Amino acid sequence: MSNGALTPGLCVSGSVTVRKRRELPTKSGTVKVRPGERVNPETVIAEALREGELRIVKIPEILGITPEDAIEKIIVKPGDDVARGDIIAQMRGLWGLFKTEAQAPISGVIEFISQATGHIGIRAPADKISVRAYISGEVESVDDGRGAVIKADATLVQGIFGVGGERNGVISLLNVEASNKITEADIPETCAGEILIGGHSPTLAALRLAAKRGAVGFVTGSIDDTTLASYVGYDIGIALTGDEPVAMTLIITEGFGELPMNERALGLLKQAHGCAASINGATQVRAGALRPEVITKRSSTLESADLSGAGVVQGALRVGGRVRIIRVPFFGLQGEIVELPKEPKEIATGALARVALVRLAELSGETVVVPRANLEVVG
Amino acid sequence: MRVDPESLKTVLVTDCGSTTTKALLFELTKDGWRQTGRGEAPTTVEEPVADVTVGALNSFKEVQELSGRAILNDDDSFIVTDADPSRGIDLYLSTSSAGGGLQMLVAGVVRTFSTESAERAALGAGAIVMEAVSADDGREDHERIERIRHIKPDIVLITGGIDGGSATHVVEMAEILVAAAPRPRFGDTLTLPVIYAGNKDAANHVKDILSKIAQVIVVDNVRPALDRENIGPAREAIHELFLSHVMSHSPGYSKLLAWTPVAVMPTPAAVGDMVNTFAQRTGQSVLCVDIGGATTDVFSVFRDQGGKQTSNRTVSANLGMSYSVANVLVEAGVDGIKRWLPFEIKDSELRDRLRNKMIRPTSIPQTLEDLWLEQAVCREALSLSLKHHRSLAIGVESRTAERGIADVFKQGSDRYELVNMLALDTVIGSGGVLSHAPLRSQAALMMIDGFGLEGVTQLAVDSIFMLPHLGVFSSVHPAAAQEIFERDCVVYIGVAVVPVYPKSFKKGEVLADIFINDTKLGEVIAGEVNRFVSKEEALEARLKVVPRHRQVNIGGGAGKTVERVVKLGAEGVIVDGRNRPFSPDSFTISAQREVYQRLGLINESGVSEIIRGVL
């Protein structure tokens, strides 16, 4: 590639400007905020009326006649207002004694009467939709009729994968070591409205208990695939998430298996203990990559001497740089790049690949060969 | 720019894929037409760049750097070759599948009739069919409406009813569409394009119903009669809408379209055209697969019952080797993948490894075990995508005279699968896992296993996924495209010989004898896989397979000798004595280990070894 070997990384920063575009799915709404205005997560940014549902009433089936005959029995016309239960078609039976009727199943306006099918389309009244700010910050710009961009100086911790959508809560550090697996015993009795942080590999019972006690989010190092499937209720096939029917958003920072949260992310979240935060598990690995996130206000209480600043973990590999290996046989280990050979090398699979030589402190300083594609920069 | 084939000497072609834009340089050399340069860059159709031409220009610059040929001026415009033949290009062409490709919704009345024809039209035009709804699909109206509401298609294709037949059902499908009111993927102000290709008597009703939400284009019925399929007009309408609506509204494409005097083609349509050209030129039955990170495309050309070559294309949108790898796991199950492995692995370990690949899709296997795991996933993805393909590659028997409307619902008796593995001549594999397998024999085994090949099949891979480029080039200069296809694109690996025989045969029994240019090369033995590399130096040779029993079928019929000219490639003749369908005995670790050993993929003790790459 002509742009150099960029390593896909995640943003883990104590001080970063976050911009969130908050938009309606239409351009015909009303924006409720002005540039420069301060907003909180609950502030309504824009709202609009959405066209109501179109309900199709199959008159021939209801009256038991052909479409051609049904047209004659319809007693409404396009544009008429109808209330639920109103008679919209009727037919007299033998000697005019028995009437069969079709009623409007919803209130609305008659949109069409099909001459081909004898069906009636009733359009329900429009309903109101709105979009909230999701994060605390300032309105940077407004897109008339649609929404606004919210800007915030914040702490941002992106995870590698998540499930569940946008939620807001208070960050609460679990009383466990990063290397601990999370069980029910680690879930605090009172955690309603909290985003629980720490450990790895939570059991299904621990996740369910946290959700039952009202936690809105859970951020942990890793999870095993079977537990995730049980928590969500099905096996996720594609890394396109955010709409799962879960009561508590879940984010993992490292991957699947048994991996403690990286020190940098844990350090930042530790310092945000007790702070209000926004969390979103939505993940889209494909084009336009979207990673799950925890956003909390950059606060003066954050001692960010060594954590703030350029914390965006993204960039080219360099000798001396810290990296994490994301593939077996060294999956999860961190080390330092000691050499970046220019020419591709043959690796154990027999494939030719561009590699890096990485010194691993966790393997007594052993230097190993790793394909560059299997490295993530960690700062 | 020049488009006259005779005036062309240097042509630059890009394929703007979802993740990578790949540029190839084709040149008329002293040695004929060759692929002489290549360059790649990340595709830039998504935010923050949101302009496909930025990635395209980056790929051109890499072509310049690597080939040494100047093709861009300082202002990034093309240098058009004039007096100095060592500079510039004569023509620029492109294909595109960026931004998820062309995404369509199709609707019909009878699933195995109009809806299937609509799917074939959409797939043949290079689209991904996001959803196919039918009046007889077993769903309630509200379920269909709910499903359609959440889809953002580029184009909708509605079909149903034969010309002169009942209009009711197809108009009902239009009502469902208007109730769901799907929004087009691109352009807030764009009206949803809907192609109507159903009963012509219902066209005005459908237009009336849909006019509020859509721009309706009426074309000829895809099934004007029970025994006739006519997908050409619908396919052309899809191509026109792809250019006028989808392309022109995608970020940067208006600029890209202005760079080339030839229509930009959807990537799969270009591949399909190239496969068709190859099949027509050689008279062969061909199966071509492109297994990518997110999707797997399958193209086939087989003869129908009347002997006419019939092409089909399907895309399995969620079967792939990285983004969709976990979906292969979901569809095949842990056991489906494990059955191809020559080593033991815990279920939880297998699941976690594939999930980690899903969330870090650009990582590559570093150990043999990890490589074999990905190759096992590939086998299942091939198997599932072929199954999908077979269900849509359907021929229709012509028996017009005695049929009535009731026959519409009895299509089963008149439909037949076009895919016949025993009649397959050539299989072409494409996509990183096949094209870039460290050993060609690994690619061969993945295709033999994944497709369950039968009979005598020529095995080949596309060296660097050049088929899209050649497909669009073929629309301008077919002969040059074919020349490059043979010389630089397709790599012949070898030949698979797979007899089919009764279950009563015992393991170890000799099934057939193999001859190359009348010299005996070896035998096919029931239950065993072997590889024979011929001493013949020529690429082409005459292969003869003589069954030892009357019940053994090598593709020419039970007990019949098969003889054909083949290209031997690096792997020679791979004989597979495992019966089809595979028996459970084939799926033990020891059975897989034996296959790997016989093909030289592992040594006697190498199966559990993890090479750690320690210096």
CA distance B64 to chain A (A): 11
| CA pair distance B276, A98, nearest whole angstrom | 65
pLDDT of residue A104: 96
Q: What is the mean pLDDT of chain A?
A: 89
Query: Which ipTM did the prediction report?
Result: 0.88
Pull the structure tokens for residue A118.
């004898």
Closest partner CB to A350 (pick from B39, B348, B439): B439
pLDDT in tens, A328-340: 999 988 899 999 9
pLDDT in tens, B306-332: 899 999 988 887 899 988 999 999 999
What percentage of chain A has pLDDT greater than the value 70? 91
Write the single-letter amino acid at B187: G
Name which residue leads in pLDDT, A363 or B310. B310
According to DSSP, the residues that pair with A376 across neighbouring strands are A324
Cβ of A371 and B205 within 8 Å?
no
Best mutation target, A234, A286, A291, A374, to test chain B (most B CBs within 10 A): A286
Report residue B306 CA to chain centroid gap.
Answer: 25
Q: Within chain B, which residues score under 50 in pLDDT? A: 400-413, 607-615
Report the predicted TM-score, pTM, of the whole model to 2 decimal places: 0.88
DSSP structure class, residue B161? S
pLDDT of residue A2: 36
Pull the structure tokens for residue B612.
């750690």
Give the other-Cβ count within 10 Å of A136's Cβ: 21
Closest partner CB to B352 (pick from A256, A283, A357): A256
Nearest partner of B311 among B229, B239, B238, judged by Cα: B229
pLDDT in tens, A188-211: 999 999 999 999 999 999 999 999
| Mean pLDDT, residues A141-169 taken together | 95
- Given a cut of 80, whether residue A244 has pLDDT beyond it is yes
CA distance B291 to chain A (A): 16
pLDDT of residue A287: 58
pLDDT of residue A7: 40
Cβ of A121 and B175 within 8 Å?
yes
pLDDT of residue B398: 58
- Given a cut of 60, whether residue A3 has pLDDT beyond it is no
CA distances from A128 to A24, A83, A124, A131, B362 (A): 11, 20, 13, 11, 42
DSSP structure class, residue B25? E
Using only C-alpha atoms, chain A has a radius of gyration, in whole angstroms, of 28
For the four alpha carbons of B435, B439, B445 and B450, in that order, the dihedral sign comes to negative
Cβ of A327 and B41 within 8 Å?
no
Q: Note whether B454 and B562 are within 8 A (CB).
A: no
- Given a cut of 80, whether residue A321 has pLDDT beyond it is yes
Cβ of A288 and B46 within 8 Å?
yes
- Please, which pLDDT band fits residue A5 given cuts at 50, 70 and 90? very low
pLDDT in tens, B191-218: 899 999 999 999 999 999 998 889 999 9
Best mutation target, B355, B357, B607, B611, to test chain A (most A CBs within 10 A): B355
- Give me the helix-helix angle, B168-180 and B141-149, nearest 10°: 50
- Please, which pLDDT band fits residue A299 given cuts at 50, 70 and 90? low
Closest partner CB to A56 (pick from B99, B175, B323): B175
CA distance B301 to chain A (A): 31
Cβ of A373 and B39 within 8 Å?
no
| Mean pLDDT, residues A240-248 taken together | 93
Which residues neighbour B151 within 8 Å (Cβ) at sequence distance 6 or greater? B105, B130, B131, B182
Q: Note whether B377 and B329 are within 8 A (CB).
A: yes
